[in-house]
């Protein structure tokens, strides 16, 4: 039976009020009007909408939350201008602000902040899609919660109404306001209004706006193609593939700035398209906004003509977000068409796409971490690999080499190359899908590479394997290895932390080494020490370590490591706790990290007196698989 419902006026009014309150809970600009940009956004004027909509806090604090009915984490500030600041910051909290951007372009954001102690990665600004626009912003120590200073960042914004979020990434700072100042137009800003994307290509002619002393610095204005842009200097039409313009009339001390937007923090291979009649040493370098040399000195070879082009490369490590890079001219006599940034320093981060499973017995192992070393020639990815440096007193083994990281790697010894070239680098990606560790004798000093994943990628159980073609170790001098150490080595010293040598090779002339005919695998523990416990693998007739790629790996489960060459189902050495002497401790039921290196000389490398132009160790891949 149908019933008609009558709603009394009083009840209707109550319902209407509830609906209105729900509507008011939607996000919107505080005070009803978006904050204008350029302009100042007061921290206390975050959007309306409440917890989870306009802001996210883990607890409500504040001494002046009465400023607004939904106030959280607010206090009266003694900063110039008075008003309120936002404090009680905590990682993971955020506040949204609706703004109206007058003109698309690049803006300098000045944050008014205070902190007793310095805070690294304190905050960042993101857009409504969650994209980090500012990069990480650090807050310096000001000595007090009401002792204020300014820190800046750069953001690129589209025109119109939009929502920006101030993300609190770490605790320990206050913020009073954020002021947005346009860097487009008369001030410095990206040419065309949008920062150049990285990875990607930066055209030399598209240096920042702002003019002399701001977007560029030149001692004189030259060029035959300066009409490309109203503030054009030193530009000419290029006959290089793709056409356009190049930048010439280079002179030591000149510079050009470029605003870029880096998609992902990491190492990038930087390819410069250059031309020069004569070779130029220390021609240029790339620096950041702090003046730090990121690329090392870049040499330009002789191409024979101002429009005869070639590529030279360097490696740079960049944070994510919008930032300004400077192309510094250190010596005269070269032209540049563009510079291109390729992700991963030539090495990439290594996708496991297309990599097949491995089945051992009834267990199928799935690839989880794959370093395939694909991409253009360049340095290995420093977001994946650390580099041990120097000689470190022979590394406890009497070794004679100096280990180098990529050019520009922090702490690199003075003997290491400062610019990238496959003809000088001790460790590099060859552009054909391989990692190469190439020992080089430079002025009587042996340079080599030793790289590891400590603190970046740990492994616990599964299959860890590398495909490697070794150098010829018939004669003494080289000592290549693929091995692991316990991830707790910083608190539990070697050998108690555990060492597993998956592949270790040295000359038969030293301590009965296997040479190209085989491989040694050894575990080192607290009681077995430097001698360790291990076995030797001998290649079948017609095969050798230095004439083809072979896979060297472990199948690792709790209380057991099975070492193999080429076939995971046929281990030649199995180590278990029962392999150890009485009273020893099995250290391999915890995470490990991996290491690749070529040592020179030392207890197993032997004498280097006959070592000349040695072959490299070439690695096709390093992979880690876990059981399904």
Do residues 86 and 112 lie in contact, with contact meaning Cβ atoms separated by under 8 Å? no
pLDDT value for 103? 78
Q: Secondary structure of the chain: what % helix, strand, coil (to 5)?
A: 5, 40, 50
pLDDT value for 175? 97
pLDDT value for 437? 98
Other residues' Cβ atoms within 10 Å of the Cβ of residue 501: 21
Do residues 150 and 142 lie in contact, with contact meaning Cβ atoms separated by under 8 Å? no
Rounded mean pLDDT of the chain?
90
Do residues 166 and 119 lie in contact, with contact meaning Cβ atoms separated by under 8 Å? no
pLDDT value for 7? 39
Do residues 238 and 228 lie in contact, with contact meaning Cβ atoms separated by under 8 Å? no
Residues in the chain, pLDDT under 50? 1-24, 346-348
pLDDT value for 5? 37
Report long-range pairs for 145-148 (Cβ below 8 Å, ≥24 apart): 145/87, 145/114, 145/115, 145/116, 145/174, 146/77, 146/78, 146/79, 146/114, 146/174, 147/114, 148/79, 148/80, 148/112, 148/113, 148/114, 148/176
Using omega within 30 degrees of 0 as the cis cutoff, is the peptide bond preceding 369 cis? no
Do residues 358 and 365 lie in contact, with contact meaning Cβ atoms separated by under 8 Å? yes
Distance CA 390, CA 405 (A): 9
Q: Let me know the angle formed at the C-alpha of 199 by 126 and 408, rounded to the nearest 5 degrees.
A: 100
Using omega within 30 degrees of 0 as the cis cutoff, is the peptide bond preceding 38 cis? yes
Distance CA 144, CA 115 (A): 6
Pick from 610, 558, 607: nearest CA to 587: 558
Per the document, the length of the chain is: 628
The edge-to-edge listing of strands for the beta sheet with 440-442 is 402-403, 445-448, 440-442
pLDDT value for 111? 93
Distance CA 467, CA 550 (A): 5
Q: Let me know the angle formed at the C-alpha of 478 by 477 and 483, rounded to the nearest 5 degrees.
A: 150
pLDDT value for 15? 39
pLDDT value for 577? 98
Fill in the DSSP letter of residue 420.
Answer: B
467 SS3 class:
strand
**Who's near 137: CB < 8 A, 6+ residues apart?**
111, 121, 122, 123, 124, 125, 151, 153
Distance CA 384, CA 267 (A): 9
pLDDT value for 517? 98
- Given the structure tokens 């605003």, which residue do they identify? 259
* Domains of the chain and CATH, by start: 26-182 (2.60.120.260), 196-346 (2.60.120.260), 358-627 (2.60.120.200)
């Amino acid at each position: 039976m149908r019933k008609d419902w009558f709603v009394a006026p009083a009840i209707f009014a109550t319902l209407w009020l509830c609906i209105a309150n729900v509507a008011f809970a939607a996000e919107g600009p505080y005070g009803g009007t978006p904050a204008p940009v350029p302009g100042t956004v007061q921290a206390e004027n975050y959007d309306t909408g409440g917890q989870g909509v306009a802001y996210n806090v883990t607890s409500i604090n504040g001494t002046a939350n009465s400023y607004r009915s939904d106030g959280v984490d607010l206090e009266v500030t003694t900063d110039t201008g008075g008003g309120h600041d936002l404090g009680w910051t905590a990682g993971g909290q955020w506040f949204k602000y609706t703004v109206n951007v007058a003109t698309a372009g690049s803006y300098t954001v000045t944050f008014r902040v205070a902190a007793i102690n310095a805070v690294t990665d304190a905050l960042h600004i993101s857009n409504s899609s969650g994209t980090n626009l500012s990069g990480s912003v650090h807050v310096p120590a000001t000595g007090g919660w009401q002792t204020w200073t300014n820190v800046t960042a750069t953001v690129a914004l589209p025109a119109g109404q939009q929502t920006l979020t101030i993300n609190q990434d770490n605790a320990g700072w206050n913020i009073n306001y954020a002021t947005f100042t346009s860097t487009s137009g008369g001030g410095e800003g990206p040419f065309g209004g949008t920062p150049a994307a990285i990875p990607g290509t930066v055209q030399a002619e598209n240096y920042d706006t702002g003019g002399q002393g701001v977007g560029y610095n030149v001692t004189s204005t030259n060029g035959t193609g300066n009409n490309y842009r109203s503030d054009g200097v030193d530009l000419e039409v290029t006959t290089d593939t793709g056409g356009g313009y190049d930048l010439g009339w280079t002179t030591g001390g000149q510079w050009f700035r470029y605003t870029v937007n880096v998609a992902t923090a990491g190492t990038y291979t930087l390819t410069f398209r250059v031309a020069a009649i004569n070779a130029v040493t220390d021609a240029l370098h790339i620096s950041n906004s702090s003046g730090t040399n990121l690329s090392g000195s870049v040499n330009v070879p002789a191409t024979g003509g101002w429009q005869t082009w070639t590529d030279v490369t360097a490696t740079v490590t960049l944070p994510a977000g919008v930032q300004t890079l400077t192309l510094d001219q250190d010596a005269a006599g070269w032209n540049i068409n563009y510079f291109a940034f390729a992700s991963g320093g030539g090495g990439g981060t290594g996708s496991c796409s297309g990599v097949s499973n491995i089945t051992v017995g009834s267990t199928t192992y799935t690839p989880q971490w794959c370093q395939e070393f694909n991409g253009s020639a360049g340095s290995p990815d420093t977001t994946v690999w650390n580099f041990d440096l120097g000689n470190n007193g022979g590394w406890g083994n009497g070794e004679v080499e100096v280990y180098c990281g990529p050019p520009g790697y922090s702490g690199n010894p003075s003997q290491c190359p400062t610019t990238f070239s496959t003809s000088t680098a001790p460790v590099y990606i060859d552009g054909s899908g391989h990692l190469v560790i190439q020992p080089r004798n430079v002025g009587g000093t042996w340079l080599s590479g030793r790289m590891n994943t400590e603190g970046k990628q740990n492994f616990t159980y599964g299959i860890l394997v590398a495909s490697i073609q070794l150098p010829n170790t018939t004669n003494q001098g080289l000592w290549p290895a693929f091995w692991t150490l316990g991830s707790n080595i910083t608190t539990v010293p070697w050998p108690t932390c555990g060492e597993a040598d998956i592949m270790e090779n040295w000359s038969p002339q030293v301590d009965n080494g296997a040479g190209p005919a085989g491989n040694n695998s050894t575990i080192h523990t607290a009681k077995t020490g430097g001698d360790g416990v291990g076995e030797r693998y001998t290649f079948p007739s017609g095969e050798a370590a230095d004439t083809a790629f072979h896979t060297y790996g472990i199948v690792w489960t709790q209380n057991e490591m099975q070492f193999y060459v080429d076939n995971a189902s046929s281990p030649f050495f199995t180590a278990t706790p029962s392999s150890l002497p009485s009273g020893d401790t099995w250290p391999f039921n915890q995470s490990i990290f991996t290491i690749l290196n070529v040592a020179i000389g030392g207890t197993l490398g032997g004498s280097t007196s006959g070592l000349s132009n040695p072959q490299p160790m070439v690695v096709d891949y390093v992979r880690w698989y876990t059981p399904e």
